Structure formats: C-alpha cells, structure tokens
Copies of this chain bind each other. A is one copy, B any other.
Amino acid sequence: MLVLGLDPGSRCTGVGLVAEESGVLRLVLARALYLPQGKELDEKLGFLFEELIKIIDTYRPGEAAIEDVFFAANARSALRLGQARGAAITACAWKNLKVFSYEPTRVKNSIVGVGRASKEQVAFMVKQMLNSKNSWPLDVSDALAVAITHLNARRLNTFLEKT
C-alpha cells in the first residue's frame, strides 16, 4: 500500500509518499512544493495542482491522507490556507484518489504517542520511523506523518475486521 500524505499551505505544500510492505514502512518521496512567489493566485494554484497530478501519475498511490484544520490565526490566513487545500484535494479527486482526513491530535498520537507533541517531536519520530538521515522542512515531515497515521489506521482496521 502506497499512501500520499499532504500538508497544504499558502506558501509551501509538504508532500510525502510512504509505502507499507509486510508491516514495514518505506519512504518513497519527500518533497516540498513551494508555490511560485510573486505570481497571481491562479498560477500558484495551477502550479500546485499540476505538480500533484504529476506525482500521482508517476507514483500511483492507492490513497491520500491530509490533516484536518481546526483553526487558523485569522480569517485571512484561513482563506489562503483553504485555497491551497482546495487545489490539493481537487488534484486527488481528479485522479480518483480517495482522501482521508485526520485530526491533528490523532496524527500526533499516532506518531509520538501523545496528542500534544510539538512539530519538532513529530519530525524527529518520522525520521526514526522511516529510518532516514534526511532533515526535511516541517511541512514535509507533517505530510509524511499523516501518511504514516493513515497506514497505521488502515492496519488497525484490517486487524479489527479479522477479530
């Protein structure tokens, strides 16, 4: 199972692809998509959409995962975040990739074991879980974290169905 994790933002969208094979996690792709600065909104969102389409076409993930958003600093930044989120989710929908969303506390619990972990703690644990020496921007760590959370949730569901 290959899962596409997304952490959309108005400046940068974190993209992570994580595979699970026989219970072992494997890092497939960790990338930060920086939206072209100084461009109009339609060009920025078009860029994000097209880059995601390319990644989906190249790697053919089976499912996608994204964090729920519960608050933003203010309405203006929430709108900007929403626009990027809308473009990213639309790219998945266009490619018939089902998007699963997880509450931030669920992601932190799944990765660090507590719901109130810092982004740095999440990043550290993601590196450990993927057995990687790379350091990624936090947006990328968050994208990988939600992909891993979804793989964990799937495994648990499969287990529960069997028992």
A59 CB-CB contact with B under 8 Å: no
Interface string of A88-101 (1 = CB under 8 A from B): 01111110001101
Q: Which of A47-89 contact B (CB under 8 A)?
A: 48-50, 69, 71-87, 89
Q: Kindly report how many copies of this chain are found in the complex they form together.
A: 2
Q: Which residues of chain B are near A103, meaning CB under 8 Å?
A: none
- Whether the pair A86, B42 counts as a contact (CB closer than 8 A) is no
- Closest B residue to A43 by beta carbon equals B93
Distance of A94 Cα from B45 Cα, bound (Å): 9
A93 to nearest B CB, angstroms? 3
Size category of the binding interface on chain A: 35 or more
* The one of B41, B78, B83, B91 that contacts A76, using a Cβ cutoff of 8 Å: B78
* Complex A-B: 14 CB contacts under 8 Å: A42-B99, A45-B89, A45-B90, A45-B93, A46-B93, A48-B90, A50-B94, A69-B79, A71-B76, A72-B78, A76-B78, A78-B82, A83-B89, A86-B87
